[in-house]
Structure 1
C-alpha cells in the first residue's frame, strides 16, 4: 500500500522542498503586497485627508455654473481638452475637473465661487494611484503585471503545499494546529507561528489571489478571450487588465493621445473621442446634465463625461469602489435621462469580478471589510517574518537551506495531474513549470554524463 501511495503522490520531503522553493520566490513579494495592499485599503480616507483643505473652503458668494468652472480649468491648462467633471460632495468643496493635455489626464481644483485655480495634479501622480501601480505592477507597467501574476500563481502552489505540510498526522489536541504554542522556544515556536497563521490565512489569501487575477495582463486577457468565444457573459468590462492609462479609466473607453489625434483629424470617419476641445459649443448641456446627476444621487465619486462621438449622450457614472453600487446613466444635453445601467444588469462574469474586486479593495461591506483585510495583511506579514526566521536558522553557511532532492524519488501521478490542472488554469505557472522541468532534465543529463566520464 505504501508503494502505491508513493507512486501516486510525492513523499513529505519532496512537498517540503517544493514549499521552500516557492516560498523563497514568493515571500518577499507577499510581504510587499501586504504592505502596499494595507495602504490601498484606506484609499477613501487617504484621498479625503489629502483633499481636506479643498473640501472645506470659505466660499463667498454663489457657486458658478459647472460650465464656467470647466472653462476656468481649461484656461489654466493650455492646450487641454475637457474629460470629466466630478460632482461635488461637500457643501463647500472645490470643483474637480479632469482635463486631457496630450496623453496626460490632469485633475484641476477650482474655487466654485471665484473660479480661482487651487491645485493641479496629474492623475497618474496621485498618491493612491502610485500605490495602486506599485501593488499590481511594481511601477513597471505590463512587465510588472506579468511578474505579479507569476507571484500570485506560485503563491497558490505555496498555499497548497503548506496545507499538505500542516495537515495533522497522528497528533492529538489542537495546539500547534489551530493555535500556536507560544510557550515553546526556538524553531518550534516560529514553526507554530508560521504554520498556524498560514492555515488561518490560506482561504482568504486564495480568494484574494483569485480576485486579483482578472486585473493581471495574461490571465485577464485570457478571461476576456474565453468570454468572447464562449458567449456574452459580461456586458462592458468594468475592470482594468494590466497597465491601463488612467485617462482610459476616466473616459470609460480607450482615449487616443492628442498628438495622435492631430494627425488623424482629417481622416474620414475618425471621431475625436476622449474629451471635448475648447469650442464655443463644446460644453452645451453640461449644466443641465450636472443638475440631473445631482438629483440621481449616485454613490460618490460621480463623473460626468462628455459624448464620445458627435450626437451621442452625456454619461453620468458612479465610480465608487463598492462596485455592486455602481451605475451608469446616459443623459441628453437637456438633462433628460435616456437610459440607465445598474450593476444587477451586468453579465455574470462582470458581476462576479465586481464582487471580488470590491472585497479585495476592502469596500464591499464597509469598515468591517477594511478591518478584515488589514488583519489578513498583518497576518501575511507575520507569516512571512516567521518563515524568514525559520529559513535563516536552517540555512547553512553558503547554502540555501532547501531539502535536497532524493535520487530515485518520483513525483507521482497525482501530483502531475494537479500540476497539469494548475498549469492550464494559471498559464504563467504552467509555462514556468515546463521551463523548470526542462532545466531539471538538462541538469540531470549533465550529472549522468559527468558520472560516466568519471567512471
Structure 2
C-alpha cells in the first residue's frame, strides 16, 4: 500500500508544478509536433535550389568550390557529395542557426541558390520551442520547465499507481460514466502514465540543448573524456606543406570508393596547413566514420569510427536523434504521437482541475501538518537539484517562501 500522507504531499507538488508549467508544456508539445514536419514543409520551397536540370558535362568539383567561396561570408568548410545527377552540390559554412549553404549547378557553372536555416519559418518554430523567442532568458525558462517535467512525471506515476485492490485494471481504468471531472482526470492520468517513459526519453533528448544543464553535461564529458575524440573534427591535425594540394575531385573519388552509409561529406581545408576530411552522416549511428587526410600527399593521417566516441556523447546523440524523430518513419510517428498526447494530457488535466475548482479559490490539495519528508525523499530532491540546477534554485526559493509564510503565521 502507498503511504497516504506521502501520496498527498506528492500530489500537492505535482498539482502546483503542473498548473504553473502547463502553458509552457502545451506550447512545447504543439511547437515540437509542428517542427517534426520541417523537412516536408521546406522541401517544396527549396526544390528549385536543390534540384538542377541535367544538361551538358558537369564542371569539376574543384571549380564548383571556387564558385562557392565568394558566395559565403566564411570559407566553406564542407561539401556534400551528390548522390544523383540532378542534385546541386552543397557547400556550407557556419554551424547550427548560423549555418549557410550555397548550392552550385554543375552543368551551368552557376549558383542555383542559398539556404540558411534562420530564413525558414520552421526556424521561428524551433526558436519558439527552445527559447520562447526570448533568447537566453527564454532558454532558461524552458530548461526550468523541462526540469520540473521530470518531477511531474515521477510524482504523477507514484500518485496514479493503482493499489492492490484495483490491480492491473487500474492502469487502464477510464470512467466514462462518473461525470466529466472524473473522466478528464482519468484521461489525464491513464494516458499520462502510458507515455511517461517516452516523455522521459524525449526530455533527456532535449536537455543537452539547454544552457545550464547542457554546459554542465559538456563539462562532465570533458572531465571524464567521454565526448568526441579531440581529433574527431581534425582539431590539432595539420598537413605537411609540400608541393601542390590534391584536388577536391580526387577526394570525391576516394570517398565514393569507401562506400560509406548515409550522406557523405568532404571536410575542406581552410588554410594551407588544413586537412581534407571524409565523413558520413547517418542515423545508423554505429556506421558513422571520419577520416582525415594530408591535403598535399593524400596520406591518411587518422581515422575514427563510432566506437571511438565516448559513452556520454554516444548516449547524448542517441537521445537527441530520438527527440527529433530521426531514426526513421517509426521514430517520427512515435514523436508525433508523444507531442499530440502530451498536449492532450495537459489540457485534460487543466479541464479536470477547472471542473473541481471552487469559485475564487485555487483549491490546492491539502497535506496533513504532521507530514515530514523522509531522508530518502530529501536525498532524491537533492540529487535532482544537482542534476538540474535551475530546478534546485527554484526549490530553494520555494523553501524560503514556505519558511517565511510559516514564520508569519506564527507571529
Interval of TM-score (by shorter of Structure 1 and Structure 2): 0.7 to 0.9
Equivalent residue in structure 1 for 2:326, among 345, 363, 374: 363
The alpha-carbon deviation at position 312 of structure 1 amounts to: 3.1
Would the alpha carbon gap of residues 434 and 18 (structure 1) be closer, same or farther in structure 2, given more than 3 Å must change?
A: same
Task: Determine the structure 1 residue equivalent to 2:187.
Answer: 193
The alpha-carbon deviation at position 173 of structure 1 amounts to: 5.7
Equivalent residue in structure 2 for 1:400, among 362, 367, 370: 362
Task: Determine the structure 1 residue equivalent to 2:281.
Answer: 319
Task: Determine the structure 2 residue equivalent to 1:28.
Answer: 23
Task: Determine the structure 2 residue equivalent to 1:382.
Answer: 344
The alpha-carbon deviation at position 179 of structure 1 amounts to: 4.4
Task: Determine the structure 1 residue equivalent to 2:76.
Answer: 82
Would the alpha carbon gap of residues 418 and 227 (structure 1) be closer, same or farther in structure 2, given more than 3 Å must change?
A: same
The size of the alignment, in residue pairs, is 404
Listed as ranges, the gaps of 5+ residues in structure 2 are none
The alpha-carbon deviation at position 18 of structure 1 amounts to: 0.6
CA contact (8 A) 2:5 2:368 kept: no
The alpha-carbon deviation at position 113 of structure 1 amounts to: 0.8
Task: Determine the structure 1 residue equivalent to 2:65.
Answer: 70
Query: Which residues in structure 2 correspond to 1:171-320 (within 5 Å)?
Result: 171-172=165-166, 174-175=168-169, 177-229=171-223, 231-236=224-229, 285-307=247-269, 310-320=272-282
Would the alpha carbon gap of residues 212 and 324 (structure 1) be closer, same or farther in structure 2, given more than 3 Å must change?
A: farther
Q: Quick check: 1:158 aligned with 2:149? A: no
Equivalent residue in structure 1 for 2:53, among 39, 58, 65: 58
| Aligned equivalents of 2:61, 2:139: Cα separation in 1 | 38
Would the alpha carbon gap of residues 55 and 223 (structure 1) be closer, same or farther in structure 2, given more than 3 Å must change?
A: closer
CA RMSD between the two structures: 3.3
The alpha-carbon deviation at position 319 of structure 1 amounts to: 3.3
The alpha-carbon deviation at position 49 of structure 1 amounts to: 4.1
**Which moves more between the two structures, 193-202 or 53-62?**
53-62
| Aligned equivalents of 2:309, 2:393: Cα separation in 1 | 33
CA contact (8 A) 1:285 1:335 kept: no
| Aligned equivalents of 1:307, 1:297: Cα separation in 2 | 22
CA contact (8 A) 2:234 2:292 kept: no
CA contact (8 A) 1:328 1:342 kept: yes
Listed as ranges, the gaps of 5+ residues in structure 1 are 239-250, 255-270, 274-280, 450-455
The alpha-carbon deviation at position 283 of structure 1 amounts to: 8.4
Task: Determine the structure 2 residue equivalent to 1:268.
Answer: none
Q: Quick check: 1:110 aligned with 2:104? A: yes
Q: Quick check: 1:136 aligned with 2:94? A: no
Q: TM-score, normalised by structure 1?
A: 0.78
Equivalent residue in structure 2 for 1:352, among 315, 319, 326: 315
Q: Quick check: 1:436 aligned with 2:398? A: yes
The alpha-carbon deviation at position 178 of structure 1 amounts to: 1.9
1:217-256 CA-to-partner distances (Å, cap 9, x unmatched) read: 2122222323333x32233489xxxxxxxxxxxx9599xx
| Aligned equivalents of 1:290, 1:413: Cα separation in 2 | 62
**Which moves more between the two structures, 203-212 or 329-338?**
329-338
Task: Determine the structure 2 residue equivalent to 1:343.
Answer: 306
**Which moves more between the two structures, 111-120 or 399-408?**
399-408
Would the alpha carbon gap of residues 434 and 30 (structure 1) be closer, same or farther in structure 2, given more than 3 Å must change?
A: same
Would the alpha carbon gap of residues 293 and 404 (structure 1) be closer, same or farther in structure 2, given more than 3 Å must change?
A: same
Q: Quick check: 1:373 aligned with 2:368? A: no
1:22-65 CA-to-partner distances (Å, cap 9, x unmatched) read: 10122222222222222333445445444333444222111111
CA contact (8 A) 2:182 2:352 kept: no
CA contact (8 A) 1:324 1:354 kept: no
Would the alpha carbon gap of residues 399 and 90 (structure 1) be closer, same or farther in structure 2, given more than 3 Å must change?
A: farther
